[in-house]
Structure 1
C-alpha cells in the first residue's frame, strides 16, 4: 500500500523547506506553521481577497519563481522563540527575533543577498524596495491559492521526470557529447534524480506508479484523515531552481509538456479535508483550529472515485 516517505512545511514563503516527521492539518486544510511569513515588496498589498478568502500572489513578494537564488540560503524558523535564522554558504547571515527592529534587519539582509544575485535587478524595480517581513509567525496566510490545500506528489513521478529531464546548455553534459543521446549511450553515469524538495509539496508518497496521483478523484485517506481530491498542481518556474544551489539547472516545465506530453506542466495534486463544508478564511479561529496529524509512514488509500 502507498505510504508517506517525506513531509515538509515552508515557514517563510519561498525559502527553505522544513522536513517534518509529523505535520498538523488545520480545519481549513492548511498546514500548521506553513507559509506563516513572507517578504513583501514595498508597494504590494497584504494577502489579497478573492471570493472572501486570503491568497498571496507570487508577484507580491520574494518567491522562487522570480528569485531562484533564495533556495541557496538555509533558513530556520524557531516558532517558540519567534526567531528567524538565515545561513549563507554555511555561515550565519542573520538571526533576529520578530520584533520591528528584527524584521527590518532580516529584510535588509535578504535584500542585500538578492541584490547580489543575477536576479538582483528585478528587486530594483519601482515599488519593490524596501522589503518588509510580514506575518505573525503563527497563521498560515501566504499560500498563493485562496483556499487552503495540502499538496502531495508521488516519488515515482519525480523519478520518471528525472529520467527525461531537459537540462540547460552545459549542465552535466561533457564537451562534444550529443545532447540528444541518452546517458547510457553516451557512456556516462545516469544523472542523480531530481530532489523532491524542488516541487515544494507538503507530502511525498511512494508505492504508486509514475503520474498516477494526477488521475486521482473522489476521496483519499491518509493515516486517519480523509481528504477529497481537488485538482492536479500546475507548476511554475520555481521548480527549475535547484533546492541546494539556487541555480536553474533543470527545465521542468518544457520537459513536462514536450517530453512527457502534458498539455500543462503538472506534477502532484491538491487535497482538501473531505468534511470541509465551505472555504474558510485563513487566519480565523475556525480555520486555524487543528484537524488532525499526518506522520511519515502513514498509509495512503484511494477510497472512491468521483462520478
Structure 2
C-alpha cells in the first residue's frame, strides 16, 4: 500500500500520523472535507455530537448554477447537483485549506495559490465562485454557487454521518487488483485496521447496526455499507482516472462496497490512536 508522503502530497500531515500499516483496531487517521468534492484536511482530534457529522465536514458545496437550495430550510440533494470527483476529476489537482477562525478558504494548484476568499463574506464567496467558473469551464453548468446552511452537511447520505474504512479490506482489494491504492481515494473520515478484511460489514446487520465505542467517550452505530462510485477511480496525484474500483469490487467480491457509515449516538472527543471496538 502506497502511503501519502509529506514530500509528494501537500496535505500537511505530520509524518507520525501515517500509521496505516502499524495500528490495529485503533484510529490511524481522521479527516474532514470542508468543501464537498475538494481535498481533505487531516485532524489529530475531533469533537463529535450525537446525530452530527464531524464538525465542518462537507459544510460547503459548489453547486451548478441550476441547483435550487434553501439555506433556511436545507434539504438533502444528490451529488449530481454539485461539482464532484465522480464527474470532475480535475478537482483532484487542487489543494484546499479552510481556516476556522478567519473562515477563509485557500486554494492551491501545483504549490501556488490560485484563489482565496472569506466564506462568511459575499465578496469572498464570489472570488471562490469566479475561480471555479474559470477553472471548470464547460464542466460547470451555469455559474457556480458556493452553498452553506447552518447545521447542514452536503454528504452523499440524507443524514449526518461519519464514514469509516477498514484498511484490511482495502488490502484485500489491492491484492486482487495487484496494485497499491491510495486510501484517500475513498474519502473517509476515519481509517482504522481490524486485521480482518470485511469485518466492518458484520457491524451493519439488517434490523439494526452494532454499537461501536471509540476511545473512552464516543459511541457510534453502524447503519450502512458504503457503495462506491466513480470518484474512487481518480488518481489523486495525477487528477486522472486510472482504474475502475466499483467494477473491480463487484467482480472480485460480489459487491461494490468499501467502508461503512456510522451515526454518532453518544458524543465526546476522539483522537488518533483511540481504540475502535464493538460495544459489549
Coarse TM-score class (shorter-chain normalised) = 0.7 to 0.9
Deviations 1:120-145 (A, max 9, x none): x432xxxx211011116x74421121
- Residue 106 (structure 1) aligned with residue 135 (structure 2): no
Asked if 1:160 is matched to 2:163, the reply is: no
Task: Tell me which residue corresponds to 1:133.
Answer: 146
Q: Which residue of 2 aligns with 1:243?
A: 236
Distance across 1 between alignment mates of 2:80 and 2:185: 19
Q: Distance in 1 between matches of 2:54 and 2:77?
A: 16
- Taking the aligned partners of 2:161 and 2:102, their CA distance within structure 1 comes to 27
Unaligned stretches of 5+ in structure 1?
116-120, 166-182, 184-190, 276-290
* 1:95 pairs with one of 105, 112, 116: 116
| CA distance 1:56–1:80, change in 2 (3 Å) | farther
Q: Does 1:40 align with 2:63?
A: yes
Partner of 1:296: 272
Q: Deviations over 1:259-279 (max 9, x none)?
A: 2332xx10111111236xxxx
Structure 1 residue 227 corresponds to structure 2 residue 220: yes
Query: Which residue number corresponds to residue 260 of structure 2?
Result: 269
Residue 43 of structure 1 and its aligned partner are, at CA, apart by 1.5
Q: Does 1:25 pair with 2:48?
A: yes
**Does the 8 A contact of 1:95 with 1:106 survive in 2?**
yes
* Contact residue 47 and residue 56 of structure 1 kept, 8 A: no
Structure number with larger C-alpha Rg: 1
Give the secondary structure class of the aligned counterpart of 1:274.
strand
Alignment partner, residue 198 of structure 2: 211
The count of aligned residue pairs is 250
Residues 20-59 of structure 1: per-residue CA shift (max 9 Å, x gap): 111222222311111111111111022699xx97323101
Deviations 1:230-263 (A, max 9, x none): 011111111111223221112100000012332x
Check conservation: 1:53, 1:147, Cα contact below 8 A. no
Distance 1:208 1:47 in 2: 44
CA contact (8 A) 1:47 1:141 kept: no
Give the Cα separation in 2 of the matches to 1:42 and 1:14. 16
Give the structure-2-normalised TM-score.
0.83
What is the aligned-residue RMSD (CA, Å)? 2.1
> 2:25–2:192: 8 Å Cα contact kept in structure 1?
yes
Q: Show the counterpart of 1:66.
A: 87
Distance in 2, matches of 1:245 and 1:211, equals 29
Question: In the alignment, what sits opposite 2:31?
Answer: 8
Say if 2:101 is the partner of 1:83: no
Measured in 2, the distance between the counterparts of 1:22 and 1:47 equals: 32
CA contact (8 A) 1:24 1:31 kept: yes
8 Å Cα contact 1:4/1:205 also seen in 2:
yes
Q: Distance in 2 between matches of 1:212 and 1:19?
A: 25
Is the CA contact (8 Å cut-off) linking 1:71 and 1:244 kept in structure 2? yes
Asked whether the equivalents of residues 74 and 152 of structure 2 are also in contact (C-alpha less than 8 Å), the reply is no
- Secondary structure of 1:77's partner? strand
Q: Distance in 2 between matches of 1:231 and 1:53?
A: 23
Structure 1 length-normalised TM:
0.76
